[in-house]
């Protein structure tokens, strides 16, 4: 491993998400974030209920680094769930604001929330193209 490689600043900024969160709003349940060894990838474990359907899954979050190439600047993720979906996102931290783009940065589908309460609450809205979406509040319940 090349010791000069370091996780990007934007990826390191997501360290604030580490722990278990209780989610309420348009979905209900828990999510848990943890670092993969090396801290180049953040893992999210999901147990949610949305529109009466149980959804479990996991997400791998990090900078893309295709074979033989340097790491990209954006923090991408891929989410895999128990209903067969594979969804891509871009995470964009900016101080206490977190935007999660559905697909590429600038997409009409996104979440934008604000961390408050010493970083223990993340509240914001999922916005969908053509209208719709929902308000979501996540509260840290364990580190």
pTM of the complete model beyond 0.75? yes
Q: Please, which pLDDT band fits residue 6 given cuts at 50, 70 and 90?
A: confident
For residue 119, being part of any structural domain is answered with yes
* Domain of 52, in residue numbers: 9-129
Contact yes or no for 21/29 (Cβ under 8 A): no
4 assigned to some structural domain: no
Count of domains observed in the chain: 1
Report how far residue 75's alpha carbon sits from residue 41's, in angstroms, rounded to the nearest whole number: 10
The label of the residue with tokens 């589908």 reads 109
Region for 40 from its dihedrals, namely left if φ exceeds 0, alpha if ψ lies in -120 to 50, beta otherwise: alpha
Residue-wise pLDDT tens digits, 38-82: 999 999 999 999 989 999 999 999 999 999 999 999 999 999 999
Asked if residue 137 is part of any domain, the answer here is no
Give the domain CATH number at 16.
Answer: 2.40.128
Buried b (16+ CB within 10 A) or exposed e, 54-75: ebebebebbbeeeeeeebeebb
Within-domain flag for 134:
no
């Amino acid at each position: 491993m090349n010791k000069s490689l370091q996780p990007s600043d934007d990826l390191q900024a997501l360290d604030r998400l580490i722990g278990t969160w209780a989610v309420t709003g348009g979905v209900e349940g828990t999510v848990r974030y943890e670092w993969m060894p090396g801290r180049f990838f953040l893992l999210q474990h999901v147990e949610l209920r949305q529109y009466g359907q149980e959804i479990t899954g996991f997400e791998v979050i990090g900078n893309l680094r295709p074979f033989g190439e340097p790491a990209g600047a954006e923090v991408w993720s891929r989410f895999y769930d128990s209903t067969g979906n594979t969804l891509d996102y871009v995470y964009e931290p900016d101080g206490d604001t977190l935007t999660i783009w559905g697909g590429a940065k600038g997409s009409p589908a996104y979440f934008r929330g604000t961390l408050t309460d010493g970083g223990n609450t993340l509240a914001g809205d999922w916005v969908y193209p053509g209208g719709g979406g929902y308000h979501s509040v996540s509260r840290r319940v364990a580190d």
